[in-house]
Amino acid sequence: MATRHSARRRPPVTIAVLGSANMDLVVRQPRLPRPGETLFGSSFTAVPGGKGLNQAVAAARAGGRVRFAGAVGDDEFGAALRARLAADGVDTAALATVGAPTGVAAVSVVDGGENSIVVVPGANQAVMALDDATRDLIARSGLLVTQFERPLGLVGEALAAARARGVTTVLTPAPVLPVPADLLELVDILVPNAAEACELAGTDDETAAARALSRTAGTVVMTRGPRGVLVARGGAVLAEVPARPVEAVDTTAAGDTLAGVMASVLAAGQGLDQAVRVAVIAASIAVTRPGASSSMPTWAEIAALL
């Protein structure tokens, strides 16, 4: 796998990412403050992020040919996000500039690497319906990767357009929302974390949640942090892939790294089992570095651990 995928750096199948682009304003701190309390932080950085941008960058760095459909404002953050995508080789022809300000995310990272995030969507919520250019982009792709940081109706339209053209659909249901069953039926690969899976399925049992969701969506790839990934399909657990033991510095983009790299490996023609295995390794690298898009590994770094 390492030799074959690394030798063909530009897979023949294009990945369309419909998603958010935010500027992450990241504060590192010893712990979360109590109500009314002021704490000193140890550092502050502004890092390009948003689940859509993160997944696009992760897929591109793993060798994927990626086109990004999103929206930013006509401001400094928007220009920086567009430049970040372009620097990683992501096609930004479908990245619109709109009247709303670019989305931002306030990210608190505590000692040990766990994080809490508040997102102000801004431009990400300004486009409510699928335009002809984005519809055409999806039709010319092999995979569609999306999330819930864009309007739910827009995401549903995109999934339906992809299904109509036989395009494989990958959905990260975050931030988690009440989702109608007919939308989940349009999803070939659902990539929730354990908490999201439980909320979507209405149960506290992670395994039961993954099994239940897999009766509606095609396959569930549920991330569980240091406990690895559980894969379910048709109401049954197919596999549990252990995580690679590392000392986490920042878990902000672990799930996005996994989703993006998994899409890249699938686009290269590999099966889901291999794609998940490779993606778990990529996520294990990302959590050892601070930031979102800044933490994501290149294919050479991933291949060195395969």
DSSP characters for 121-183?
A: -GGGGT--S--HHHHHHHHT-SEEEEESSS-HHHHHHHHHHHHHTT-EEEEE--S-----HHH
CB crowding 268-300: b at 16 or more within 10 Å, else e: bebebebbbbbbbbbbbbbbebbbbbbbbbebe
Residues contributing to the annotated binding site = 22-24, 50-54, 149, 193, 223-228, 250, 252, 255-256, 286, 289, 291, 295
Report the DSSP beta bridge partners of residue 190: 171, 220
Is the CB of residue 200 less than 8 Å from the CB of residue 208?
no
Binding-site residue ranges for ATP: 193, 223-228, 255-256
Catalytic, 256? Answer yes
Residue 122's alpha-carbon distances to 90, 101, 127, 130, 151, in angstroms, are 22, 5, 10, 18, 11
Binding-site residue ranges for K(+):
250, 252, 286, 289, 291, 295
Q: Which of 88, 91, 188, 256 is catalytic?
A: 256
Specify whether the CB–CB gap between 205 and 182 falls below 8 A.
no
Quick one: DSSP state of residue 64?
-
Specify the residue for token string 């550092």: 43
Binding residue positions for substrate: 22-24, 50-54, 149, 256
Show which residues are catalytic.
Answer: 256
